[in-house]
Amino acid sequence: MREIHITLVLPTAEEIHQLVLQLNQLYSRLKKIDGSDDDCEKPFAIETGQLGAYRDRLIRLANNFTESTSSNVDPSVVPWIEIDAERSHIVRLIRCPLHVGDALAEWVYPNLKSILMTSATLSVAGSFDFLFERIGLEKLRERKLLSIALDSPFDFQEQAMLYMPPDLPPPDSADFVQECAETIGEILTATTGRAFVLFTSFYALNVTFNKLEDDLRAQGITPLKQGHTARSVLLERFRADTSSVLFATDSFWEGVDVAGESLQCVILAKLPFRVPTEPIFQARAERIDAEGGSAFLDYTMPLAVIKFRQGFGRLIRRKTDRGVVVVLDSRITQKSYGKTFLRSLPALKHDDNDRESMCESIRTFIN
């Protein structure tokens, strides 16, 4: 970051400020000419107004640039620079509050008599403590703060089954992606499509899709891939073709509603832990550690649990739906924190038999 600041940011900031100075000089000269006689025609009126607008926009840009790149940045704000990987001339200056709950508690909540918040997936192992801390509600303990977690209207014991095959390598092993791809292919054969396959990286998505595409088509299963076309078009194709399978990542873990026979299987390739090098994620984790907490237990894992619940929630959308969720990440059964993920799900039947037995069980359960 320091190298980028020296080689890119500082020269650019200086150039912007120089341009602002030149625009100010030009603006002042035009204003003098334009204001010489109120009764005379003003040839520069429109040009002066436009120039003033451009100058003001450039001043705001310069100020934002300076604030975003200053070495004396506000500690409550996380600034970073993003350069488009494919279009290097596109540079984004981003500033994000380190803890949005502080701003909400100071500026929003005091102006409201009451607040009603609802969601299906924002508790972690039955607790709302993580949500309260993240959005500043823990600062309102002196006010009447009520929370309730209601049971799902769905009968997950009858409508769903959770599979966690124990004979896959750990996700940090070199052969994990290839082994997962083979297992996914076996599962999709058992379900004849009708599945979401959700990844945490485009790399794993692309490797798996490329490995399975031809074989799936040979079986009469239509493979769809995020990025090939618009999200809405992909979903319409998926809903219309009950022999299709959609390979997707981040945005399809949530906010997607596909009811009925089109979706009877959701495969989660890995537990959805965030990338630890994302600037805002890294800054928040460092702050938690500096304050004596555990970034993993207090931040990383709760975020992953919420995302995991959202991915699981793609399956059962109405009382007549039926299907299976398969988690290919062995950490859910082999790590102590895996229990937190499982406790965050509704009560349902689990199956942790080997892959061969799993595929036969899936075929029987769905059909």
d(CA 59, CA 19): 10
Q: Decide if 135 contacts 326 (C-beta within 8 A).
A: no
pLDDT digits (tens, 9 = 90+) for 76-135: 888 777 777 777 778 777 888 888 888 898 889 888 888 888 888 888 888 888 998 889
Rounded to a whole number of angstroms, the distance between the first and last alpha carbons of the chain is 55
Q: Where are the domains of the chain?
A: 2-97, 100-140, 156-281+299-366
pLDDT digits (tens, 9 = 90+) for 126-159: 888 899 888 988 887 666 788 888 888 899 999 9
Rounded to two decimals, the pTM is 0.80
pLDDT: which is higher, 262 or 3: 262
**1.20.1440.230, 1.10.10.10, 3.50.50.60, 3.40.50.300: which CATH number matches 156-281+299-366?**
3.40.50.300
Query: Each residue of 265-292: b (16+ CB within 10 Å) or e?
Result: bbbbbbbbbbeeeeeebbbbbebbeeee
pLDDT digits (tens, 9 = 90+) for 34-58: 555 555 555 555 566 676 777 777 7
- Binning pLDDT at 50, 70 and 90, where does residue 299 land? very high
What is the residue-averaged pLDDT of the chain? 85
Q: Decide if 283 contacts 78 (C-beta within 8 A).
A: yes
Task: State the maximum Cα–Cα separation within the chain, in Å, rounded to a whole number.
Answer: 92
- Binning pLDDT at 50, 70 and 90, where does residue 277 land? confident
Query: How far are the Cα atoms of 11, 22, 93, 251 from residue 289, in angstroms, in the given order?
Result: 35, 47, 26, 29
